[in-house]
Structure 1
Amino acid sequence: MASPRTRMAIDVRREQLLDAGVALFAQRSWEEVSIDEIAAACGVSRGLLYHYFAGKRGFYVASVERAVQRLHETIEPDLALPPTEQLLTGLRRHFGGIEQHADAHTLLLGVAASDEDVAAIVARDREAFAERVLAGMPGAGGGSPLARAAARAWIGAVEAATREFIDRRDVTAEQLVALLAEALVAALLAASRLDPSIEVPAAVVAAAGGGIVDAIEAARQAEIQRVGGGASGVDLPSRTDPDR
């Protein structure tokens, strides 16, 4: 049996190889890379790579799992904080860690939906993320399918904003943090109006006001009445007019 020190050395070595794999597969698909290229990129022999992993495919799948683990370590929530602070802190850690973990983000964002093995890893991560989001929002409707759908949709927005931030850098991380935090609250508020089981704190409801779409429609109708039923200065389609 390997000693604890030997076991630790093996684990560290394996993580070092996987970190090299994350960097490699962030730039090229696993199908495009030969096992010899992987070994060279990792700075090891082909034989040693096979000692740790069951071939190229096994190394790629393990690299995707390593990317997920690295991002979890970055945004692990501080449960001692109030829910809104957990949300803001988690988002700040997420965008603040993009420079440090750019390869992990790029690899996960590039996972092909048709690759069932790795897509399942990413899907499990999204589901766990949705659970953390709902757990951190008081009254988010424990078990409500609509609340869960809202959380999943919001996670899609986080992923899109992450890709935008990596590719363009024409908005700041703090702007994205503020935008996404408000978007989550708005999504859960909208869900709560459709599903009474989702309880949102009264203070949040009062601060956010009524439904946005309804408010826009009310403003449109008010403008039509103001000009005596003529053309409105607010050019928005009516929710009740199927031809618009």
Structure 2
Amino acid sequence: MGFWVRLMKTGRSLTVPERARQLYEAGVALFLDRGYRDVDVDDIVAECGVSRGTFYGSFRNKRHLLDQIMIRASDDLALAVFADRDWSEVADRDAFIAEFHALVGRALQHIHDHAQLLAFVILAAPGVDADALGMMISRYREISARMADILEIAAERGWLRSDVPVDLVWAGQLVMSTLAQAATPALLGSGEPFDVDEITDFVTNYLLGGIRAVLPAD
């Protein structure tokens, strides 16, 4: 018996937002367990102990629920990575390096902590249809663009090598692609050790070394 069915049996009525969250979380759990194509609306409402009408009061259909999962997962990742930090307040090169290191660590820790969900969103969901793929690409570009904005601040402050031409949009994508690649063992559930601190140090040094396209020589 699902958690939400047990909750309903306590007799407490749920608000509309709570019901939407109930259905959302049940959908996530079922998609991760069985895969998107092997779950239908009846499975989700059965897990929650509610009617199909209740589901359609929150989501247009199963595909709409998938969109919401992809949006929320990518939003949560972006929030964890950028932490609403105002990079214009970073005072100097050393502070930039420290902040960048912390950003890499937050990204890898979030991926580690939510590996199964992110593996579904990044690797499985885009294969559902062209729109899902387009959404994933769009979300990747948005997060990469925010990374490029950070690098642009560093460039404006003179913390990037002026003798090396850098396409900051490309550099932002490089950072995000490198983070995803570094987190591949966690995303794939390979069972390999995933020491977030160790990998953070390695990835930060790798990026800031290659981003000597990014930082001046000592």
TM-score of the alignment, normalized to the shorter chain, above 0.5: yes
The answer for the alignment partner of 1:24 in structure 2 is: 30
Structure 2 residue identity aligned to 1:158: L
Structure 1 residue identity aligned to 2:200: V
The answer for the alignment partner of 1:178 in structure 2 is: 201
Shift of 1:92: 1.8
The answer for the alignment partner of 2:10 in structure 1 is: none
TM-score (norm 1): 0.64
1:153 and 2:174 equivalent? yes
Quickly say closer, same or farther: Cα 1:171–1:61, change in 2 above 3 A. closer
| The one of 199, 203, 217 aligned to 1:206 | 217
1:129 and 2:152 equivalent? no
Structure-to-structure mapping, 1:77-156, within 5 angstroms = 77=83, 78-79=85-86, 80-81=89-90, 82-98=95-111, 100-110=113-123, 111-113=125-127, 115-137=129-151, 138-139=154-155, 146-156=167-177
Deviations 1:20-45 (A, max 9, x none): 33333233332221211122334532
Greater gyration radius: 1
Query: Secondary structure of 1:185's match?
Result: helix
The answer for the alignment partner of 1:220 in structure 2 is: none
Which runs of no fewer than 5 residues in structure 2 stay unpaired?
1-14
Q: Distance in 2 between matches of 1:99 and 1:172?
A: 9
The sequence identity of aligned pairs, in percent, is 21
Quickly say closer, same or farther: Cα 1:126–1:145, change in 2 above 3 A. farther
Q: Distance in 2 between matches of 1:146 and 1:27?
A: 41
Question: For structure 1, which segment, 174-183 or 12-21, has the greater mean C-alpha deviation from structure 2 after superposition?
Answer: 12-21
Count of residues paired in the alignment? 185
Shift of 1:114: 6.7
The answer for the alignment partner of 1:214 in structure 2 is: none
Higher share in helix: 2
Structure 1 residue identity aligned to 2:47: A
Q: Distance in 2 between matches of 1:117 and 1:92?
A: 31
Quickly say closer, same or farther: Cα 1:99–1:187, change in 2 above 3 A. closer
Shift of 1:12: 4.5
Structure 1 residue identity aligned to 2:71: E
Asked if the contact 2:82/2:103 (under 8 Å) is kept, the reply is yes
The answer for the alignment partner of 1:234 in structure 2 is: none
Q: Distance in 2 between matches of 1:73 and 1:21?
A: 23
Quickly say closer, same or farther: Cα 1:99–1:85, change in 2 above 3 A. same
Higher relative CO (CA 8 A, sep ≥ 6), structure 1 or 2?
2
